[in-house]
Chain A
Amino acid sequence: MEAVSKLDVEAIRADFPILQRRIGDKPLAYLDSAATSQKPVQVVDAMRRFTDHSNANISRSVHTLGAEATEAYEGARARVAAFIGAPSADEVVFTKNSTEAINLLAYAFQNAALDPHADPRFRLAPGDEIVVTEMEHHANLIPWQQLALRTGATLKWIGITDHGRLDLEAVPEVITERTKLVSFTHVANLLGTVNPTSQITARAREVGALVGLDASQSVPHIPVNVADLGVDFIAFTGHKMLGPTGIGVLWAKADLLDAMPPFLTGGSMIKTVTMEKTTFAEAPAKFEAGTPPIAEAVGLAAAVDYLDALGMENVRAHEKELAGYMLERLESVDGLTVIGPRVPIGRGATVSFTFADIHPHDVGQILDAEGIAVRVGHHCAKPTCDRFGVNATTRASGYVYNTHEEIDRLVAALAQVRKVFG
């Protein structure tokens, strides 16, 4: 492991005041960024500046503040579009989070199923198939289960190999002429696997299915370019990429957004309204009913600026190196079993593991007493847990601000866990 981090981690850490916190008398080692990342001062400052200086509702008022707020919000949209290589800012829909973005898409299908004039690409009926994978976060599973239940479509999935990779050999039989949508995770939140996309998208194209990507764990960590990926939709969330909570993104190709019925209806998403009927605004406004998270959009744009300044290639290199160190050190712990890929290739710096027969809750509690924050439980991926025959795992996840020293502290604290429960 001689790979060198491309990031100046000490300088980065200085931008995150929370990393100076102590838990009891121990310095915090934050290894839970896959759940939510911390925010640099640049993000908090941008939101504060907006709130203190330009706060107003958007697209409504002619006053100066209203114009500034609209400009800030739409500027954030353009900033996010550029970050993911979207050809147009109008293809970026702001949502509450990834879960809402995926539900927005699922409800487009559901609403289309009720409308005989809807675009046939979105019309599901019994016999049609929706394909996911066994390694989905519940956010990219349950909306499709529900949609299948309500439309009579069939939900199918691509399995996981023992090494924690997608069983790509099964792709040709799982994705068939009946498949209308394939929605799968780009980077698995429990396993840390970075899924290769080309084989799945090629097969989906072959059968004429739409392709969606749950990019919640990829956009924060690796360069993501929607044009290169050749998919139709991606969903991701601000709070996992140094931004605030309360804002997420659905990106979709313009012609698909045009064809999709809206999910939420109400203010700001209309063209004309009478007591009898309404015509909708063009996308993205069509999907942004009500007052959106304006300050949060400003914060997300600042987070994107921060990541761009670091360079996403550098972020990827840093995390690849970190993943290698985590795997090497964790696997040296007696009784510890990594759940997911065991080599730092095609995976991120999110490492789940079981430790002897000690329950992850107990592991997490002792680690917390040492100042180390990890996630324990099923990580909203129960089917993945079932696949590996475990109820829960302990998950350490790294990001731009994590160091080798923090991994060393994690490993040392596991000896403490062993002492209490061994």
Chain B
Amino acid sequence: MDLDELYQEVILDHYKRPRGAGLREPYEGESHQVNPTCGDEITLRVHVKGDRVADVSYENVGCSISKASASVLYELVHDTTVDDALARLAEFTELMNSKGQSDGDEETLEDAVAFAGVSKYPMRVKCALLGWMAFKDALVRAEAETGGSRP
């Protein structure tokens, strides 16, 4: 087991100093997700303005992987277009399902490539994806709330 690969400095840093944490107003979509195997939880809000994700805010309890992943998610998708955010979601999900076969594109995924090692640990992939599932769900709810005005 190469623990250094799993617990990279970048991950531990996001875990110890989470970016964008806390629930904020305004928001159009909110999602609550739990990991039934370990009881980890996240509540995540999305504030959409036009075609942009103006803010993502969250409160969570969980392991280092799930907490660091939410922090990295915040960095990647807040203040970006909805389309870019969805592209990052797809990329990160693919990386997590790669079973260690992908390094991820640092150009687009930035700090999130540190999670490449997590994809080798099937028991931990769900931890890394918890926040992203909440983001996906909150975004759908936000679009429903705003009448799906996006083209």
A376 within 8 A of B: yes
A377 partner residues in chain B, CB cutoff 8 A: 37-39
B3 lies within 8 A of A365 (CB): yes
Q: Which of A24, A361, A376, A377 has the most CB of B within 10 A?
A: A361
B64 lies within 8 A of A421 (CB): yes
**Main DSSP-derived SS at the A contact region:** helix
Q: How far is the CA of A382 from the CA of B1 in the complex (A)?
A: 30
B143 within 8 A of A: no
A420 partner residues in chain B, CB cutoff 8 A: 3, 7, 12
Asked, given contacts A392-B39, A420-B7, whether A361 binds B63 with beta carbons under 8 Å apart, the answer is yes
A362 lies within 8 A of B64 (CB): yes
A391 lies within 8 A of B3 (CB): no
Cβ-closest chain A residue relative to B40:
A391
B124 within 8 A of A: yes
B41 partner residues in chain A, CB cutoff 8 A: 391
Asked, given contacts A359-B63, A421-B64, whether A369 binds B3 with beta carbons under 8 Å apart, the answer is yes
CB distance from A411 to the nearest CB of B (A): 19
A286 within 8 A of B: no
B3 lies within 8 A of A378 (CB): no
Q: Which of B38, B40, B62 has the most CB of A within 10 A?
A: B38
Q: How far is the CA of A378 from the CA of B39 in the complex (A)?
A: 7
B38 partner residues in chain A, CB cutoff 8 A: 360-361, 376-378, 391-392
Q: Find residues 359-380 in chain A having any chain B CB closer than 8 Å to their own CB.
A: 359-362, 365-366, 368-369, 376-378
A369 lies within 8 A of B61 (CB): no
Give the number of chain A interface residues (Cβ < 8 Å): 19
Asked, given contacts A361-B65, A421-B64, whether A369 binds B39 with beta carbons under 8 Å apart, the answer is no
A361 partner residues in chain B, CB cutoff 8 A: 38, 40, 62-65, 124, 127
A69 partner residues in chain B, CB cutoff 8 A: none
A23 within 8 A of B: yes
Interface residue from B1, B40, B61 paired with A368 (Cβ < 8 Å): B1
A-B contact pairs, 8 of them (CB 8 A): A24-B1, A361-B63, A361-B65, A362-B7, A368-B1, A369-B3, A376-B38, A420-B12
B46 within 8 A of A: no
A359 partner residues in chain B, CB cutoff 8 A: 40, 62-64
Q: How far is the CA of A63 from the CA of B41 in the complex (A)?
A: 58
Q: How far is the CA of A24 from the CA of B3 in the complex (A)?
A: 11
B125 within 8 A of A: no
A166 partner residues in chain B, CB cutoff 8 A: none
Q: How far is the CA of A378 from the CA of B62 in the complex (A)?
A: 12
Q: A362-B65, A391-B38, A392-B38 are in contact. List 14 more A-B contacts (CB 8 A).
A: A24-B1, A361-B63, A361-B124, A365-B3, A366-B3, A369-B1, A369-B3, A377-B39, A385-B39, A391-B41, A392-B40, A420-B12, A421-B12, A421-B64
Provide the B41-77 mask, 1 if CB < 8 A to any CB of A, else 0: 1000000000000000000011111000000000000
Q: How far is the CA of A223 from the CA of B1 in the complex (A)?
A: 40
CB distance from B59 to the nearest CB of A (A): 13
B61 partner residues in chain A, CB cutoff 8 A: 391
Q: How far is the CA of A256 from the CA of B124 in the complex (A)?
A: 46
Q: Find residues 375-402 in chain A having any chain B CB closer than 8 Å to their own CB.
A: 376-378, 382, 385, 391-392
